[in-house]
Structure 1
Amino acid sequence: MGLDKILAISGKPGLYELKKQTRNGFVAESLTDGKKISVSLRHNVSLLSEIAIYTQTEEVPLAQVLEKVKEKENGAITSVNHKESKTVLANYFSEVLPDYDESRVYPSDIKKVIQWYNLLHSKGMTDFSVEEVSSEEE
């Protein structure tokens, strides 16, 4: 499963897997506790495959950032906790993505990236390579 089925829902902690679409929204399953929830179209929902991190020159897709975290950690969970101080988080993130735009990438964004990476890693989702969707898969 790729990041195109993983959701971040505003106002809800953690990540969710898209299970099925309904007429008024969709059903998603929490990666944290496995509970299924119904999400209406009013919620602000982001696919992880559509999220990008600002750098000084471009926007880097989240999948590439997660892949860089994986490389830095040699495939293990992160060496820092998402609850560390802003300075520790900024130093860690600058090692992962040296040219990230510090004025547009907030500590809360860094916390989310670290937290999401560790959650996905704990669920065995460690292939963050960007896949091109072929017409057969659609």
Structure 2
Amino acid sequence: MSYNKMVSVTGLGGLFELVSSKADGGIVRSLEDKSTKFVSNRIHSFSHLESIEVFTKEDNVNLSEVFLAMKASKEPKPDAKADVKVIKAYFEKVYPDMDFERVYASDMKKMVKWAEILEKAGIEIKLTEHAEGNEETTLEDKPIVEKKAAAKISTPKAAAIKSGPAKKINTPRKMA
């Protein structure tokens, strides 16, 4: 299991590994009890942990940075069900740049709970290169062949639409 496959599912507690995705949902495996089930995207929405950002006083940071700061800290983690003041005091020591006016107490509780789940599952917290944005792609880097292939694919579709049957024009009949 890797960090880039971890998702949070609305309406379901805990974290899940995205095993497979389909057009109408995804197959997820719980990190806590290892149960696998299908989750419909009509009812639930998926949030990859790599895509979640946390508000700070300056720029937003990725959730993994907060997890790494929690892991590197000497402070003991509070229980996820602890009082809001205790959890807020913990984050003020661990990650003081967090914007506590915009980050809700429920979000801080989730971060503590998720960090515990990831630690128990033994998942290494790191971003993939794509999520970090280290890959800078410019127009010069992309081969011209891909652009031509895309143009060829779109041209037949346009031609197929235009070559349909001619429209019939109905005019009202004259009555004598």
Once residues 23 and 128 of structure 1 are traced to their aligned partners in structure 2, the CA distance between those partners, rounded to angstroms, is: 28
SS at match of 2:114: helix
Contact conserved, 1:3 with 1:63, CA < 8 A, in 2? no
Alignment of 1:1-138 (within 5 A): 1-42=1-42, 43-73=44-74, 78-125=76-123, 127-133=124-130
Greater relative contact order: 1 or 2 (C-alpha under 8 angstroms, separation 6 or more)?
A: 1
2:80 is aligned with what amino acid? H
Distance in 2 separating the partners of 1:23 and 1:129: 28
Q: What letter matches 2:121 in structure 1?
A: K
Alignment RMSD (CA, Å) = 1.9
Question: How many residues are treated as equivalent by the alignment?
Answer: 131
1:111 Cα deviation from its structure 2 partner: 0.5
Q: Percent identity?
A: 32
SS in 1 for 2:39: strand
Taking structure 1 as the reference length, what is the TM-score of the superposition?
0.87
Distance 1:129 1:26 in 2: 23
**Deviation of residue 73 (structure 1)?**
4.2
Unaligned runs of 5+ in 2: 136-176
- Residues 3 and 47 of structure 1 are in contact (CA less than 8 Å); yes or no, is this contact kept in structure 2? no
Distance 2:34 2:66 in 1: 26
Higher share in helix:
2
Post-superposition offset of 1:97: 1.1
TM superposition score normalised by structure 2: 0.69
Runs of 4+ in 1 over 4 A off after TM superposition: none
Is contact 2:3–2:126 with CA below 8 Å preserved after alignment?
no
Q: CA separation in 2, counterparts of 1:97 and 1:71?
A: 11
Maintained 8 Å contact 1:6/1:16: yes
Greater Rg by CA: 2
Unaligned 5+ runs, structure 1? none
Q: Deviations over 1:94-113 (max 9, x none)?
A: 11210211111011001000
| TM superposition shift of 1:131 | 2.7
Structure 1 residues 111, 132: CA separation in 2 closer, same or farther (over 3 Å shift)?
same
CA contact (8 A) 2:7 2:18 kept: yes
CA pair 27-92 structure 1, distance change in 2 beyond 3 A: same
**Distance in structure 1 (CA, Å) of the matches to 2:30 and 2:36:** 6
